[in-house]
Amino acid sequence: MALPDDDCNWEEKDNQIWENNSTNHHNQETISPKIAKQINIESEETALSLPQITIRKRLPWLLGNILLYITAASAISPFQNTISHIPVLAVIMPIISNTSGNVAIQAVSVTLRGLGTGEVTPLDTLKVLRKEIFAALVTSIVLGITLGILSLIWSPPEERWISIIASFVMIMNVFIAATLGTLLPMSLKRINLDPGLISGPFLTTILDTISFLTFLTMIAIVQSSPNIISQFSQTF
């Protein structure tokens, strides 16, 4: 009669061991995130990350962004005389910059949300890009025409030719903004960099440099060609 009792005891011990192992495993899963947070081994910044993690993740890109803005400013400096002779350029340039920047941020935000929710992956880049390109074609034309009309209203009769260049640069920059707003976060995600920290500042600075350099170069070329200006003046 002792054997059945021993069997029961062994069965109870086995159950206790299994329960202890399950409890320990559960405790490890519960504690491990806290331990990881205490020893600062989080791979990406989260909403509840420690301040030093936030600083370490953001500050290098913010410092790098200052250098990028210096590049954008250097694109304007050779055209100071052009801007001083045509004051309306100081009104048009921020509109092109802000509008294309907003388009880029919209594209980046949609792409980042898709990456975050798992809706898309870097393998879906072409699929997302096709959608953004189609939307950019319509958006850029509407925005370009709008800026052209405003430029006609703001410019004196002898400078209304600026509206054509402003429309062209707006269309070009909006199209580039939508395209890069998709490609940049996808590319950064593919090489395991955080697209949320890098995409926005880097992209807006690139767009500012492209738009200012293109716009002012075309204005300077036309301004140095009286024949072109006279043809534009006759048109308007």
Residue 166 near residue 147, CB atoms below 8 Å: yes
Mean pLDDT of the chain: 78
Greater confidence (187 vs 230) lies with 187
Note the pLDDT of residue 149.
Answer: 95
Rounded to whole angstroms, the Cα distance separating 143 from 79 reads 25
pLDDT at 165 over 90: yes
Note the pLDDT of residue 95.
Answer: 93
**Predicted confidence band at 64 (pLDDT cuts at 50, 70, 90)?**
confident
Residue 125 near residue 183, CB atoms below 8 Å: yes
The mean pLDDT value for 218-230 works out to 77
Q: What percent of the chain has pLDDT over 90?
A: 27
The mean pLDDT value for 81-90 works out to 89
**Predicted confidence band at 1 (pLDDT cuts at 50, 70, 90)?**
very low
Note the pLDDT of residue 191.
Answer: 86
pLDDT at 81 over 90: no
Residue type, 67: L
DSSP tag of 121: -
Residue 129 near residue 179, CB atoms below 8 Å: yes
Task: Specify which of 33-42, 59-68, 82-91 reaches the highest per-range mean pLDDT.
Answer: 82-91
Instruction: Tally helices (H) and strands (E) across the chain.
Output: 8, 0
pLDDT at 139 over 90: yes
Rounded to whole angstroms, the Cα distance separating 216 from 118 reads 42
Note the pLDDT of residue 92.
Answer: 94
- Both tokens of 122, joined, read 């870097």
pTM over 0.85: no
The mean pLDDT value for 190-199 works out to 74
Closest to 196 in 3D by CA, of 95, 116, 102, 86: 116
In the chain the domains, ranked by start, together with CATH numbers, are 60-235 (1.10.357.20)
Note the pLDDT of residue 37.
Answer: 39
Q: What is the pLDDT of residues 10-39, one digit of tens each?
A: 455 455 544 555 444 444 444 344 433 333
Looking up tokens 């995600």 gives: 189
Note the pLDDT of residue 71.
Answer: 76
SS3 content of the chain, % helix, strand, coil (to 5): 85, 0, 15
Rounded to whole angstroms, the Cα distance separating 180 from 155 reads 32
Closest to 166 in 3D by CA, of 220, 213, 204, 219: 219
The mean pLDDT value for 150-156 works out to 91
Greater confidence (89 vs 232) lies with 89
Residue 181 near residue 111, CB atoms below 8 Å: yes
